[in-house]
Structure 1
């Protein structure tokens, strides 16, 4: 593509008077991408998450050994080497292979929690903000009750009631993760509830349900995406904490928190057993934090084009 064609395409995307909704949406996406790509740390975070996705997708190809079976007699607690890059654990299992397969469980947790918690928080926040009155008071007081407890403590209580297991851990984390999203959605709704745009929709005869669903919720999506991305690190740490305490993923699943728990007995002499999964949690959490910071700068409508 020639330089003139590229410039013409850029001018079309940055037009102040778009001719269609598609052009307007593509223009906003292009401006957001320019802001995001200019942030090198945010781009590094994006590459980290893409790498995590690829590792999880091709775990069967990348892992040289089984994540659940090992050579207990000849490969127990071996130091990192060319044969076992991250060493082996107390059951002779290759830690590198377990970390690779553990990335799937990490994605499993964060994706399910995001799918479950974000819509609940969005619905509660927009309904409370638009309705006001006693509806707002009741919904926000329920939200305050959940916010009054530390997330990990509340998740522990729910898992203890539901029973240990990765599915119950996901459900418990989702139950404790929606209140901040509800607060953000309510604040966004209060900002636009009395705007001329919403008044015009009301004069056209739209029902409150349609106004909330079609006109207010889409305005809250960008702020919600940013908060969800920033919360991913906390979700990973909470899931790892539950696994460490034996209330999350159960053996022999290669979940990173459970791997740290099994390696804490050897942390002084065979540090790699707990150190390798701990470093994996650090890298992935840092990647999500960097990505979230970049999205916050890129999707902030009050930021100018840079």
Structure 2
């Protein structure tokens, strides 16, 4: 039996084969979506650029050249995206800025997703006053636009990339909590959960061992779709001077410093803006593709 036949077998002989087969079928369905593959390619390219930034960037992203002869140069063979007002190579700064962007996205997802899952599944499973308290707290966070709320937290914590990540994570978990609660409400009264409860499992074991895994696919889709919003929020904080601080090569801060030269030296602000647009588009396309293959409600 070939590897493909083993993966696509309708009668798996082990749990490992069943899981591998399901993963392979998911990949085959995902691969048929061309736009999703484009999004995956953009995200993979972002990761590779972030990992190999030191090898890709031809110049130091923090220090510039001669201000008399290399300041605000247009795109050329020597400087693919031109130079900024400090004679720094914009291409090198955009490449290294991919590291900051990837770090923000990854840390926000790692912090916000478990919080949203914990709040949502707990509220949905217990119901009653627990549900009321947790959901009203969630509603308070949802009542404010994400950027405005993040600005308030960063203003309280102080400017800096670490505080910006914390602020964005604090404002990102409510949608995940709402989604996890809705999924939990449809799961908690099923025969499957009742059987686990009859076996003596406690609430914590049921929530984390059985409810959370069933909610995970929907939450992953929502997190992937939210990545573009997270990137834009981080760029907005950087643009306002509350995110990464100079001379760090953060895309939002680069746009802020280049907006003064937008008319005569358009490339200074345009190049990091294009980077934000492309990466945000990639995450949106990837999220749409994952929704099509992972969300059972979306299957036709």
Q: Distance in 2 between matches of 1:21 and 1:197?
A: 18
1:83-232 pair list within 5 angstroms:
83-232=78-227
Q: Aligned partners of 2:203 and 2:268: how far apart in 1?
A: 56
Correspondence for 2:61 among 54, 62, 67:
67
The match for 1:43 is 37
The 1:291–1:114 alpha-carbon spacing in structure 2 relative to 1, beyond 3 Å, is: same
- 1:28 to partner: Cα distance: 1.2
Q: Distance in 2 between matches of 1:225 and 1:217?
A: 12
Q: CA deviation at 1:302?
A: 4.3
| Partner of residue 247, structure 2 | 252
TM-superposed deviation, 1:304: 5.2
Query: How many Å separate the matches in 1 of 2:299 and 2:13?
Result: 22
Distance 1:292 1:54, change over 3 A: same
TM-aligned CA deviation for residue 12 of structure 1 = 3.1
CA distance in 2, matches of 1:130, 1:24: 29
Shift of residue 300, structure 1, vs aligned partner: 1.8
How many residues matched?
A: 299
How big is each residue's C-alpha offset from its partner over 1:20-50, in whole Å with a ceiling of 9 and x where there is no partner?
2111111211111111000000001101111
Q: Which residue of 2 aligns with 1:27?
A: 21
Q: Matched residue of 2:296: which SS?
A: coil
Offset at residue 270 of structure 1 (A): 0.3
- Equivalent residue, structure 1, for 2:272: 277
CA distance in 1, matches of 2:277, 2:103: 18
Q: Distance in 1 between matches of 2:71 and 2:160?
A: 27
Deviations 1:153-179 (A, max 9, x none): 000000001000000000000000000
Q: CA RMSD in A?
A: 1.1
Gaps of 5+ in 1: none
TM-score, length basis structure 1 = 0.96
Q: Name the CA distance, whole Å, in 2 between partners of 1:304 and 1:142.
A: 33
Q: Deviations over 1:84-105 (max 9, x none)?
A: 0000000000000000000000
Q: For the Cα contact (< 8 Å) 2:42–2:279, is it kept in 1?
A: yes
